């Protein structure tokens, strides 16, 4: 009994390697938290880029640049205006949008948009309106989350994707239509 108790007392009294063991226990959660903070920061930056891109595209519609685009359709002009400022964090080909004329600002539906089971916007006809029209512009981007634990808590759609959305309602400025009106 004396030999065994002596070994146990010596083992409990040793401090060598304690720092390495503590670091190994704390390193894994620290790395996951750090990566999660970086990923959430990138998601918020991507959302900010989306809002800025939608504001720029809405300005192009409001001033009639989209409707009077020369050499391209109004849809192509809108896509170009949207993609110019979307940044490197957003894949412009994955952006989904609704641009439709509404009767009045009070008719704007600001709730979550209608999507199918895969998270794709239900198609609406592209209608940027004319001079004086009230236009609802909604852009949706499914941002892919790469960290598994972050994806479990923040994803809205299958495949660890978070819906980023920007909605703007504008009234087009008075401009002379290309038809002379």
Kindly report, residue by residue over 52-100, the tens digit of the pLDDT: 999 999 999 999 999 888 888 989 999 999 998 877 888 988 899 999 9
CB 169 within 8 A of CB 135: yes
How confident is residue 180, by pLDDT bands cut at 50, 70 and 90? very low
Please tell me the predicted confidence (pLDDT) of residue 63.
93
Give me the mean pLDDT over the 160-178 stretch.
87
What residue segments make up the domains of the chain, in order of their start? Answer: 2-171
H-only helix segments in the chain: 2-13, 18-62, 74-84, 148-154
What percentage of the chain carries pLDDT values higher than 90?
A: 35
How far apart (Å, rounded) are the C-alpha atoms in residues 137 and 109? 11
Of residues 15 and 74, which shows the higher confidence score?
74
- Collect all residues with Cβ–Cβ distance below 8 Å to 23 and sequence separation of at least 6: none
Give me the mean pLDDT over the 158-180 stretch.
82
What percentage of the chain carries pLDDT values higher than 70?
A: 92
Instruction: Compute the chain's Rg from CA coordinates.
Output: 27
Strand 161-171 to 134-144 pairing: antiparallel
How confident is the prediction for the chain on average, in pLDDT?
Answer: 85
Please tell me the predicted confidence (pLDDT) of residue 177.
67
- pTM comes to 0.79
DSSP tag of 69:
-
């Amino acid at each position: 009994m004396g030999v065994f108790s002596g070994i146990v007392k010596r083992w409990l009294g040793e401090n060598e390697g304690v720092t390495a063991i503590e670091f190994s226990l704390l390193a894994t959660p620290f790395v996951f938290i750090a990566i999660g903070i970086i990923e959430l920061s990138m998601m918020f930056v991507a959302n900010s880029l989306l809002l800025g891109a939608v504001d720029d595209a809405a300005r192009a519609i409001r001033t009639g640049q989209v409707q009077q685009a020369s050499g391209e359709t109004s849809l192509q002009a809108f896509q170009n205006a949207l993609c110019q400022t979307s940044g490197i964090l957003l894949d412009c080909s994955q952006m989904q949008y609704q641009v439709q004329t509404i009767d009045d600002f009070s008719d704007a539906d600001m709730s979550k948009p209608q999507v199918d089971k895969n998270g794709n916007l239900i198609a609406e006809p592209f209608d940027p309106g004319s001079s004086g029209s009230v236009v609802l512009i909604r852009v949706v981007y499914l941002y892919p989350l790469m960290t598994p634990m972050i994806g479990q808590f923040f994803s809205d759609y299958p495949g660890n994707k978070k819906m980023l959305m920007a909605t703007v309602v504008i009234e087009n400025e008075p401009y002379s239509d290309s038809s002379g009106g």
